[in-house]
Amino acid sequence: MTFRMTQQHIRKQPNSWYLRTGQVHHFLCRCGQVDQVSDVVTIIHHPSHRCSSCGNTHYLDSVMFLTNAKVTRWSIFHWHVEKVKNDEAWVVSAYTNIPLFDQTIQKIRLKKVVLASISLSFRGLYCYNEEAPTLLSKYLYNHCSSATLMRELIERELWEAMDTFLLASPIDTISWVEEGKVPESVPENRIKLYAFFLKHGHLKEYDFFYWKHFDAFLEISRRYPTVQEMLLFILNFRKEKSLRKACYVSYKKSMQTLMSYNPWPDYLFSRQIDDRNFLLQLIDMDVNTKSRRFDELQQYEINAFFIFLKEHYSQKAITKFFLHIKSGYRLRDTVQMFHGETADFIREHFQRVPLKIGRLHDEFIRISRLRKYALKDKKVFDYHENDLKAQTEKDGFAYHLPATTHILHRWSCDLHNCMYGYSAAIHQSRSVIYGVFKEEKLLYAVEIRNNRIVQALGKYNAYIEAEDKALIYTWFREVYIPAWIKMESKKQIKTR
């Protein structure tokens, strides 16, 4: 068994150990010989002892190895890799056998110590665990002039072992994967690819792993599980041959040039632009330019922005606008200003300007300043008694209301979303936003309007996992809603 260090392949050496019990040092050699020596002078890493059977001089102090954090370097160390496939997952672990002296029987016993492991479940969940972080933080020479962190060596070998183990012992979900056709990459990225297809067993083409924001298309992909079918869906099933050809060519260039594909631009263009010639120009946009302009934009942001543009400008003007934008940053900045309640304020105060990114950006800035001035003296939020009562802890989550615009802004920064734009709606009692915390850490934000959850999202507006979402809706049904139902019942009794 070998491992790579400084571009060389070096044989791993089996460990030999020594233990000290009183004044006696027990030497357990790799050849199986056990020696006992009294009064060895100074023992740090390698004792002044040579195996009486084979002459080996490579020894480690097992007690110091397990307990002494001050010992940071070993000259040599050996571990084994174990591969196990059970009913739920593949598990690859690195372990070593460390000798310990059993005082009861006065003999050396070997203790199996797992150093680190990687597991990949059949559902596509994978994790790397360090079982012995203290040991992994040590450095190894292994006959090289420079020391290498043990963690790096073991982690690298485990990813490589898992990569080969999966292909050698697959399950039906990934049995279609062929070693020679898996895209070249480091083993860790290949594991991510296997995990992706384990999660989404209906997909059978490697390209899907490199589609950006694919989770948003997951459900529809069950109806269109091939790249060709999905591209037709992205194109809104337009029948014009020129459009289909442009879409396929653009996709191919994107995969070859960028090794990825962002479907959102073509998806939005195909649904917002009716004219074939204008749509053809947008789809045929240079893939590098398209990437710079759209990759960092969220779908809901660019979609709302697109609808706004159509309210004020022609499709010809919109096409020219997107084709001639030079600054991707200026586009992102402008689009991200158009969100939430801010979008309503912009619609209300927008004055039509020539459709150029600079002029549009300046107009949005002007309106933002108007809005900031309108809210400058309104810092503290007033809530209904029922909203305040719903601030509780339930099922491991704590629900809190932002007391001030400052807190709402901080939450908005923490989650990297646009909730701060809802300040006016909260002041006007049109919306209420709860922060969902776990162990005092903000995880999610929930907007309630007219006693309905209108959105519940996590960091970067990511969707909430089904299990956590179910807990949030349980709080909504069992804590938030009952108070309002009781209040409505009292109103009905009074009117009678």
Position 286 scores a pLDDT of 92
For the segment 118-144, what is each residue's pLDDT rounded down to a tens digit?
Answer: 999 999 999 999 998 888 888 887 666
Number of other residues whose CB lies within 10 A of the CB of residue 439: 8
Position 41 scores a pLDDT of 42
Q: Which amino acid is at 443?
A: L
CA distances to 130, 219, 447, 457 from 83, in Å: 16, 34, 47, 39
For the segment 151-175, what is each residue's pLDDT rounded down to a tens digit?
Answer: 999 999 999 999 999 989 999 999 8
Burial 465-495 (b: 16+ CB within 10 A, else e): eeebbebbeebbeebbbebeeeeeeeeeeee
Of 99-103, 203-207, 264-268, 287-291, the one with minimum mean pLDDT is 99-103
Of 88-97, 295-304, 475-484, the one with minimum mean pLDDT is 295-304
Using an 8 Å Cβ cutoff, are 296 and 332 in contact?
Answer: yes
Position 425 scores a pLDDT of 80
Is residue 435 predicted with pLDDT exceeding 90? yes
For the segment 482-496, what is each residue's pLDDT rounded down to a tens digit?
Answer: 878 766 655 554 555
What is d(CA 217, CA 209) in angstroms, rounded to the nearest whole number?
Answer: 12
For the segment 296-338, what is each residue's pLDDT rounded down to a tens digit?
Answer: 777 777 888 999 999 999 999 999 999 988 766 678 888 878 8
Is residue 448 predicted with pLDDT exceeding 80? yes
Tokens of 20: 């000290």
CA distances to 364, 386, 395 from 439, in Å: 38, 24, 12
Q: Identify the H or E element spanning 189.
A: helix 187-199
375 confidence band (pLDDT: 50, 70, 90) = low
For the segment 244-259, what is each residue's pLDDT rounded down to a tens digit?
Answer: 999 999 999 999 999 9
Tokens of 175: 């049995």
Nearest partner of 341 among 291, 405, 298, judged by Cα: 405
Q: Identify the H or E element spanning 90.
A: strand 89-102
Q: Which fold has domain 385-495?
A: Aminopeptidase (3.40.630)
Nearest partner of 405 among 390, 419, 385, judged by Cα: 419
Phi, psi dihedrals of residue 328, rounded to the nearest 5°? -65, -35
Of 46-50, 63-67, 73-77, the one with minimum mean pLDDT is 46-50
For the segment 318-328, what is each residue's pLDDT rounded down to a tens digit?
Answer: 999 999 887 66
Using an 8 Å Cβ cutoff, are 113 and 99 in contact?
Answer: no
Q: Is 328 helix (H, G, I), strand (E, B) or coil?
A: helix
The total number of residues written for the chain in this structure? 496
Is residue 6 predicted with pLDDT exceeding 70? no
The secondary structure of 379-397 as a DSSP string is: -B----HHHHHT--EETTE
The domain locations on the chain are: 2-172, 207-375, 385-495
Position 43 scores a pLDDT of 38
Of 378-392, 411-425, 467-481, the one with minimum mean pLDDT is 411-425
Tokens of 228: 């060709």
Strands 393-394 and 89-102: unpaired
